[in-house]
Structure 1
Amino acid sequence: MISFEIILTFFAAAILLALAPGPDNIFVLTQSTLRGRWAGVAVTMGLCTGLVFHSSAVALGVAAIFQTSVLAFSALKFAGAGYLIYLAWQAFRASAQKFSGGSMETMSFKKLYGRGIIMNITNPKVSIFFLAFLPQFVVPSAGSIPLQILMLGGIFIFATLIVFGSIAMVAGYLGERMNQSPGMQKILNRVAGTVFLGLALKLVTTRQ
Structure 2
Amino acid sequence: MITTEFLFTALVVVLIPGTGVLYTVSTGLFGGWRASIAAAFGCTAGILPHILTSILGLSALLHTSALVFQVVKYAGVGYLLYLAWSMWRETGSLQFAAQGGLKCLRQVAVRGILINILNPKLTIFFLAFLPLFVSPSAASPLAQMTLLSAIFMAMTLVVFIGYGLAAHAVRRRIARSPLLTTWLQRSCAAIFAALGLKLAVAEQ
Same fold at TM > 0.5 = yes
Cα distance in 1 between the residues matched to 2:109 and 2:139 = 34
Cα distance in 2 between the residues matched to 1:54 and 1:28 = 19
Higher mean C-alpha deviation, range 160-169 or range 178-187: 178-187
2:77 counterpart of 1:81: yes
Matched residue type, 1:174: V
For the 8 Å contact 2:174–2:180, the answer to whether it is kept is: yes
- What residue ranges of structure 2 are gaps of 5+ in the alignment? none
Cα distance in 1 between the residues matched to 2:115 and 2:179 = 28
Q: CA deviation at 1:52?
A: 1.5
Cα distance in 2 between the residues matched to 1:175 and 1:188 = 11
Cα distance in 1 between the residues matched to 2:92 and 2:98 = 13
Hey, what does 2:119 align to over in structure 1? 123
Q: CA deviation at 1:111?
A: 0.4
For the 8 Å contact 1:99–1:189, the answer to whether it is kept is: no
Query: How many residue pairs align between the two structures?
Result: 204
Match of 1:155 among 151, 156, 159: 151
2:197 counterpart of 1:206: no
Hey, what does 1:191 align to over in structure 2? 187
Cα distance in 2 between the residues matched to 1:202 and 1:101 = 31
Cα distance in 2 between the residues matched to 1:101 and 1:12 = 36
Matches within 5 A, 1:44-83: 44-83=40-79
Hey, what does 1:167 align to over in structure 2? 163
For the 8 Å contact 2:91–2:186, the answer to whether it is kept is: no
Q: CA deviation at 1:101?
A: 4.4
State the Cα RMSD in Å.
2.0
2:16 counterpart of 1:20: yes
- What residue ranges of structure 1 are gaps of 5+ in the alignment? none
Matched residue type, 1:92: W
Cα distance in 2 between the residues matched to 1:122 and 1:16 = 22
Identity among equivalent pairs (%): 35
TM-score, reference length from structure 2: 0.91
Deviations 1:71-108 (A, max 9, x none): 11111111011011111111111154444246336x71
